[in-house]
Amino acid sequence: MIYAIMQLIGGLIMAVGWIPQIIQILRTKSVKDLNIKTFLFLVTGITLMEVYAIHIALGGVGYAFLITNSISLLIMLMILGCILRYR
pLDDT tier, 60 (very low <50, low <70, confident <90, very high otherwise)? very high
pTM of the prediction? 0.90
Q: Report yes or no: 9 and 65 within 8 Å, Cβ to Cβ.
A: no
Residue 13: count other Cβ atoms within 10 Å of its Cβ: 10
Q: Report yes or no: 25 and 31 within 8 Å, Cβ to Cβ.
A: yes
Q: What average pLDDT does the segment 59-85 reach? A: 95
Instruction: Encode pLDDT of 18-43 as tens digits.
Output: 999 999 999 999 999 999 999 999 99
